Amino acid sequence: MDEDDYSPSNSVTSVNSLASLLREKLQSIPQKIRKKPSDYKLKAFVALMFLAVAFFIGFAYVLYHQQAHSKTYFRNVQLNEPKRLIRIYNEDDVEILKANLAVGVQGKIKAFPCLPEDRRNGSQCLEWLHTLRFYMKSQPHDPGLDNTTCYSIHWQALRPDVTPTDCFDWGDTKVHWYGGGQSFNLTWPLDAGSISFTPFVTGDMQKSQWGNLLTRYFINTKGAAIIVDEETPLHVAVKPETKEICIRAKYDDFAFANKITEFPEMRYNICTSIDMKSLHTSIHSHRSSPLWDGLKPADMQTLDSLISEPVWQIAPRFKHELQAETIAKYTEDVINLGFLKQGHVLINEHWQNEIGDLEVDKSRFETLNVTVDKLHRRGFKVAFTIQPFISTESQNFAETVQKRLLVSERNSDRRIPALTRFKSLPSAGVLDITNNRSVPWILDKLQAVIDEYHIDSFYFDLGTAYDMPHYYRCESFLINPDHYKTIFTKTFEKTLNIIGVSSAISLPRPPIFVSLPPFESSWEAMRRVIPTMLTYGVNGFPFLMPGAVGGDIYWPGSEQFLPSSKGSMDPMNITQENGIDLPERELYMRWLQMATFLPVMKFTHLPSKYNDERVLEMAKNLTLLRQKLVTPLLLKYKREALEEGLPLIRPLWQVSGGEAAPRVDDEFALGDELVVAPVLHQGQTTREVYLPAGLWQDGIDNSLRKGNRWMHEYKVPVDKVAYFIRRPDDLRFR
């Protein structure tokens, strides 16, 4: 080899040649092998993009079909037909009501537009073949209902085994429902309890799910209300496990035995507004005519006297103890107190020998006319309690049977009366108020009593739906057994002076007050008074008569109760009157404090019976407080009640907003100006108090307090009651 072969130039050339050779070799590698890593990345990217596009297409497909099935009606109503789900929105597009429709209908039955012959003008109509027909319509806007929109719903069952059922969801824990009536567990709000499906008729709370006053009206905190038509055979359930309130149309063999249609139908309206307070006010203030329409000066005087004067309920333990002397002695004790007004003396049904006699028992009341005249001179008014029941032992029973004036039994001879039990009566007939011959018969009897004894008024003890005979039949058609009490009251409200009724499903004409159900003498019973007052007020009944201070009295054999010291830990606190234990002393004091602020004050036991100066002094102070503060406010808001139908006693949410207000069940407001927080537990001298928004003056120490907050460990001595008066916001700067 030559030396030139090892020169530097030859070395560089060799390196370059190697690089060139390497490039040539790399270029000779197949194209697909060289680009393999890039292809994998590209394919992964393409696959990812494909999946994303497929997902979005699928999502859009599902969303499209959901929207296709969820049709929007009347702008604010959305209905998903396959799921039978309805949603209603307010003007701000906030969902305020969600309901599952036709609950219990098995299978995914497809809905079709109704046939032309089944359609109605202005209504959307759908039919689930051979099962249900559904109508929905937007009600024409009423100028009197500001910001309120209503929709009508109508279900028709097309088979006998179908019971239209709709359930309204309150899944949000901040949504609460009110109205309906007093439920057996006495909850406020309504959704705090649990009620199985049961006929929506009045009953005795010791035996049935619903109480003595019902209306087919339910409202929630979001501003939606349900108003069920009176002809619907209504059953109601409250289901906390699914967070639903359900309504159902169903016929049965008692409450809804009288069929209006072949198969059950359910009609109701859904009304919405900007909030619950506005909705509630607009619904109750817009009546066909105000409550004052047609009232006479005498009616207004009776209304005012019931608010400003006590009701004295005279009820000895045994019938034979009720005599003219008993009444005279009781009223003398009232006068001797010196600080309570005379008011109305309410004598229970035992002014008769037997219920249904409609004639004074002269063996016990030989000089009753003299006694009544004496009471009138002293400033008292006298009221007798009457019932539509005729005892089989009554002197009038044979006559009413002969004249066919009593309710008869279905599927039997009309000449045979249907019998029932009522209170202590083991057997009684019921006057058929739909019979044209019955009205003049009973009016003649009552007018004779008025003429002879100059009594001032009557109190109607009408019983409940379950006091009617099970297979009742009247001369005229009754929608349900509660319809009877409405007819009975309306028949006499313009011909007799009536101060109260024991039960109702529709608002009686003033000055008639509706009584709260009887409550036993116990702390637990006392705690039920406020939720009951609030519920009945929400239902549209402004004029309510609570029971006696300390608890109510019932007769032996009535399956009810007598006053007791239930819950008392100190037997030395118990005293007696006529062989009956007086309510426990502290309970009586706290009950009297609460009753001072209610529309009517009713007494059975006088505060003087405790022989305790502390009780008597407190009663004097509370009487003065009622005369100076409470009665003027009640009379002021009475005018508002007559004009707009608003309650005198209101829940705190009706005074102002706040998240806490809807659940407060142990305070109440008198109109918009007074908040009351009575002590409801034995031995307590402090309590938690919620004040609505605004500026309030403390009734105990006169201090000013800011509202929209809780006050913890607020001190309330046993002879004081917590109440707060609304003041102008700028008062704190004066």
Which class for 1: exposed (0-12), middle (13-18), buried (19 or more C-beta within 10 A)? exposed
The pLDDT mean for the chain works out to 88
- Residue 631 dihedral angles phi and psi, to the nearest 5°: -60, -45
Residues 382 and 645: their CA atoms lie apart, in Å, by 28
- DSSP assignment string, 108-171: -PPEEEPPGGG--TT-EEEEETTTEEEEEEEPPPPTTSTT-EEEEEEEEESSTT---EEEEE--
Which of these ranges, 4-13, 234-243, 415-424, 648-657, has the smallest mean pLDDT? 4-13
Residues 286 and 187: their CA atoms lie apart, in Å, by 28
The verdict on domain 74-285 having CATH code 3.40.50 is: no
Residues 677 and 690: their CA atoms lie apart, in Å, by 8
User: What's the token pair of residue 249?
Assistant: 């149309």
Number of Cβ atoms within 10 Å of the Cβ of 6 = 9
What is the strand order of the sheet 695-698 is part of?
Answer: 649-650, 668-670, 674-677, 722-727, 695-698, 704-706
- DSSP assignment string, 563-588: ---BT-S-GGG--EETTEEPPPHHHH
Q: How far is CA 426 from CA 122, 353, 559, in A?
A: 54, 15, 11
Could you tell me the residue ranges of all domains in the chain?
Answer: 3-68, 74-285, 297-387+437-472+480-638
Which of these ranges, 139-148, 156-165, 709-718, has the smallest mean pLDDT? 139-148
Closest Cα partner for 544 from 638, 471, 449? 638
This prediction's pTM: 0.87
Residues 580 and 565: their CA atoms lie apart, in Å, by 10
Q: Characterize the bridge pairing of strands 224-228 and 234-239.
A: unpaired
Residue 564, pLDDT > 60, answer no
Mean pLDDT of 444-466: 97
Q: pLDDT band for 446, please (50, 70, 90 cuts).
A: very high
Sign of CA dihedral 317, 321, 324, 328: negative
pLDDT score of 521? 95
Q: 499: which residues sit within 8 A by CB, 6+ positions away?
A: 302, 306, 311, 344, 346, 383, 457, 458, 459, 511, 512, 513
Residues 190 and 548: their CA atoms lie apart, in Å, by 25
User: What's the token pair of residue 438?
Assistant: 């019955």
User: Percent of the chain beyond pLDDT 90?
Assistant: 71
Residues 161 and 183: their CA atoms lie apart, in Å, by 28
Residues 187 and 85: their CA atoms lie apart, in Å, by 28
For 53-108, write each residue's pLDDT tens digit.
Answer: 666 665 554 444 444 445 677 788 999 988 899 999 988 888 999 999 999 887 67
User: Between vectors from CA 382 to CA 380 and to CA 386, what angle results, nearest 5°?
Assistant: 160
For 231-256, write each residue's pLDDT tens digit.
Answer: 999 999 999 999 999 999 999 999 99
Residues 34 and 143: their CA atoms lie apart, in Å, by 81
Say which DSSP state 286 is in. Answer: -
Q: pLDDT band for 145, please (50, 70, 90 cuts).
A: low
pLDDT score of 243? 93
Q: How far is CA 677 from CA 515, 657, 667, 668, in A?
A: 22, 18, 5, 7
Residues 594 and 626: their CA atoms lie apart, in Å, by 11
Say which DSSP state 36 is in. Answer: H
Q: pLDDT band for 464, please (50, 70, 90 cuts).
A: very high
- Side-chain-side CA neighbours of residue 121 (13 Å): 1
Mean pLDDT of 183-194: 85
The verdict on domain 297-387+437-472+480-638 having CATH code 3.20.20.80 is: yes
Say which DSSP state 628 is in. Answer: I
Residue 39, pLDDT > 50, answer yes
User: What's the token pair of residue 699?
Assistant: 């009734």
3-state DSSP helix/strand/coil percent for the chain, to nearest 5? 30, 25, 40
Mean pLDDT of 123-150: 85
User: What's the token pair of residue 419?
Assistant: 């019998």
Q: How far is CA 689 from CA 594, 683, 707, in A?
A: 15, 17, 10
User: What's the token pair of residue 655?
Assistant: 């005074």
Q: pLDDT band for 579, please (50, 70, 90 cuts).
A: low
Instruction: Measure CA of the first residue to CA of the last residue in the chain; give whole Å.
Output: 123
Residue 143, pLDDT > 90, answer no
Q: pLDDT band for 569, please (50, 70, 90 cuts).
A: very low
pLDDT score of 126? 94
User: Between vectors from CA 510 to CA 509 and to CA 511, what angle results, nearest 5°?
Assistant: 135
Q: 153: which residues sit within 8 A by CB, 6+ positions away?
A: 134, 135, 136, 166, 266, 267, 268, 269, 270
Q: Which amino acid is at 522?
A: S
pLDDT score of 16? 54
Residue bearing the bigger pLDDT, 561 or 344: 344
pLDDT score of 438? 97
For 93-134, write each residue's pLDDT tens digit.
Answer: 889 999 999 998 876 778 899 999 999 888 899 999 889 999
For 265-295, write each residue's pLDDT tens digit.
Answer: 999 999 999 889 889 888 887 666 788 888 9
pLDDT score of 71? 66
Mean pLDDT of 694-716: 96
pLDDT score of 578? 52
For 522-547, write each residue's pLDDT tens digit.
Answer: 999 999 999 999 999 999 999 999 99
Residue 439, pLDDT > 80, answer yes
pLDDT score of 566? 44
Q: Which amino acid is at 435?
A: N
Which residue in the block uniquely carries the two structure tokens 């004074």?
360
Residue 313, pLDDT > 70, answer yes
Crossing angle (nearest 10°) for helices 613-625 and 585-595: 10
